Chains A and B, each alone.
Chain A
């Protein structure tokens, strides 16, 4: 897994890339929780995530729960392919917002 972080319109946008699984979720967790610690609103760009397993989802859930506690915003953007299937099957769209694109958020 690789990632890059940028700031856009007041959001910290973390673009994850590759497989977010048991091996990489620890690093992803650190990156996401660091943003929560800084009290930043967070969007996770999932457009280049090819695979996510339950460890990876746990890391998203934890970041969401911590954001909620911190009173900051959290959302996923451009979830594709297998990752979308996994999140939809688990009905996680009922837990955190999933946007099709960053422009959709700006429009809303």
Chain B
């Protein structure tokens, strides 16, 4: 067996160089224009076999997961398409492992030759020319030519140089094709995420008129969000609402968000006690949740005329009530998050707390707010209170927009999804 590094040769004759250049140009052009790399590879194999007068030709590709080589295309007396070799087996395997073009004059007496495919097909291999399909960083497989059809039956250095040039061109085409496929796949995933984001967005309620007592905003840190909020107006005038934050980020959090938000909308129409509703949602989530995923969540019911609320807090950031006098009252969770255990409290009902707005404003938010970077450091709960103090004269919607803008103006991208809800007592003139 001889390899390309054994000696340096030049084309010993300029005879036929025009034909070679024509072939190289045709094959390169074919690959450049190809929309179907497999078809082009097969067609090129036929041309190469014919030009280099080989009895048979094949393309072997690496199957990385199985650490094997599989014959993808074959032309010759016996069809060996689908034949497999171990990675490194035979002249094909050695050519790939050494990343070099190998030439064998007498296969039977070559120790690296693997007779397994001949044994199965009945074909007899005498001489071999094999060149790897590789780029500087990637290996794809090899093109193998079998049995030179000339009087001495041997491939020569000219054949080797020609095959090496042609396989380089083919390897670049395979590389480009795979990169294009990867980009298309990336684009497909991006589009799917966009669809998921659209669906998520449709699960959130539309903004309401300024005198509506509840306003909220949701800003995903990525394309999809693990945060959510919603509110439902009941026939008796009360409003049942929620805010939630699924642990983690990414598509799994987004899917659990969609499930939890849907459960709230469905169960909230018939269960109007926050502790019971949260318990029912917890029960449903616990039945199917996995991988430690959980949701911190607040469910509440507001009587907008009286300005009173009842909330149940499952492991969520404590809501802040800014009183009319500018003091802050905090309402910490009394139970752990949703989705971990069904027996978190007696009968699975989450404990409740009563809040009287008394012309104050209740802010309910996810940790994306307090952990959001403003300037160079997290806003923190004190920073959040200072910010609220500075915008009390603004309308509810202006206040929410101002807070979201602050995070967007930060040089740091949003670290976490951010959701902020504001509940305010309706003033007398808006009461019906």
Contacts and interface: CB of A to CB of B under 8 A. Distances in A.
Contacts of A55: 247-249
A14 B350 CA distance: 33
B335 A94 contact: yes
Contacts of A53: 416
B333 A91 contact: yes
B315 A89 contact: yes
Interface stretch (B288-296, B357-365, B390-398): B288-296
Nearest to A55: B248
20 contacts: A22-B248, A29-B292, A54-B247, A54-B248, A59-B292, A61-B247, A61-B294, A89-B315, A89-B333, A90-B296, A90-B315, A90-B337, A91-B334, A91-B335, A91-B336, A94-B335, A94-B336, A94-B344, A95-B340, A95-B341
B230 interface: no
A24 interface: no
B294 A58 contact: yes
A57 B245 CA distance: 13
A55 B246 CA distance: 9
A89 B189 CA distance: 36
Interface residues of A, number: 20
B248 A65 contact: no
Contacts of A60: 292
A58 B247 contact: yes
A57 B247 contact: yes
B132 interface: no
Contacts of A65: 292, 340
B339 to A, nearest CB: 9
5 A-B pairs with least C-beta separation = A62-B292, A90-B315, A54-B247, A61-B292, A58-B292
A10 to B, nearest CB: 25
Interface in B351-386: 367
Nearest to A65: B292
B344 to A, nearest CB: 7
A63 interface: yes
A92 interface: yes
B300 interface: no
Interface in B214-240: none
B88 interface: no
A58 B335 contact: no
A63 B337 contact: no
Interface string A58-95: 11111111000000000000000000000001111011
Contacts of B337: 90-92
A103 B91 CA distance: 65
A1 to B, nearest CB: 16
B336 A95 contact: yes
Interface in A10-24: 22
Contacts of B318: 89
B144 interface: no
Interface in A29-64: 29, 53-55, 57-64
B153 interface: no
A92 B337 CA distance: 8
A94 to B, nearest CB: 5
Contacts of A54: 245-248, 296, 367
Contacts of B245: 54
Nearest to B245: A54
Given A22-B248, A22-B249, A58-B248, A92 B336 contact: yes
